[in-house]
Structure 1
Amino acid sequence: MIPEQFTRAMDNVVVLVEEKHPTESLYGLYHGVALTERTHQYSGALPDTITIYRQPILARATSYEGAREQVITTVIHEVAHHFGIDDDRLDELGWA
């Protein structure tokens, strides 16, 4: 699902699937230090996480294809955060 040129560039990040966020209705969440923000002090850090939340996606979807498309959009959105792209820019690009 993630193009190979991006997966090769990703560093110290894991992708997880959980049922739902404990306090918010989110499709996904990036937690970590974006590649563009890392310095020499980042060395030895635990992996960043991209979490995809299953229940909100399935609750919104009206079909298998709709759920699939939302997962793709959510993964791309969160991977973009790993690369340092903020929500405003993602909105401009149509990936908000």
Structure 2
Amino acid sequence: MSGQAASHAPDAARIEALAREALARIPSPFAEHLADVVLIVEEFADDETLDVMGIEDPFELTGLYHGRPIGEKSAFDSGALPDRIHLYRRAILDEWSDTGVSLEALVSHIVVHEVGHHFGLSDDDMHALEDAAG
């Protein structure tokens, strides 16, 4: 990284690029179901989302899956919005700073966790998926 790039926090485009790379590493059979998932990078979750989640501090929410889990989808969903994974840049950067984990590893962890929700996976299943996508 050049000196100038190192002095600036990663922007939304960088977070999105890392998230797309993480999605691309997710193995079959999950990968086939992720083609239509939309990635959205925002600074923070909005107040309505935080209220629904029961979260007061916007720095506590790094990502969120919006949509119906795979097992609940139906052929009658044609008019529904696409599934979305929201990533919250400021919360991610805060966790990155606090943990010392690489930004690539952190974004990958968040994406895999949200994909896990998409498929209704348990925490153990998500850890196995994360290992496979690592």
Instruction: Please classify the TM superposition score into its range, dividing by the shorter chain length.
Output: 0.7 to 0.9
TM-score (norm 1): 0.76
**Worse overlay, 4-13 or 41-50:** 4-13
If each structure's strand is expressed as a fraction of its own residues, which one has the higher value? 1
Q: Deviations over 1:59-81 (max 9, x none)?
A: 12238853221111000011111
The equivalent of 1:19 in structure 2 is: 43
- How far the C-alpha of 1:11 sits from its partner, in A, is 5.3
Q: Unpaired segments of 5 or more residues in structure 2? A: 1-21, 51-57, 128-134
Task: Provide runs of 4+ in structure 1 moved above 6 Å.
Answer: none
If each structure's helix is expressed as a fraction of its own residues, which one has the higher value? 2
Q: Distance in 2 between matches of 1:33 and 1:64?
A: 33
Q: Which amino acid aligns with 1:27?
A: T
The equivalent of 1:71 in structure 2 is: 107
Q: Which amino acid aligns with 1:34?
A: P
Contact 1:37 1:84 in 2 (8 A): no
Q: Which amino acid aligns with 1:78?
A: E
Q: Deviations over 1:72-95 (max 9, x none)?
A: 10000111111222xxx12x3464
* C-alpha RMSD of the superposition: 2.3
The equivalent of 1:80 in structure 2 is: 116
How many residues align? The count is 91
The equivalent of 2:66 in structure 1 is: 31
Q: Distance in 2 between matches of 1:93 and 1:40?
A: 27
Q: Distance in 1 between matches of 2:72 and 2:120?
A: 7
Match of 2:65, SS state, is: strand
TM-score (norm 2): 0.57
Quick one: structure 1 residues 94 and 7, their matched pair in 2 at CA, closer, same or farther if it must change by over 3 Å? closer
Q: Distance in 2 between matches of 1:39 and 1:94?
A: 24
Q: Unpaired segments of 5 or more residues in structure 1? A: none
Q: Which amino acid aligns with 1:66?
A: S
**Worse overlay, 42-51 or 28-37:** 42-51
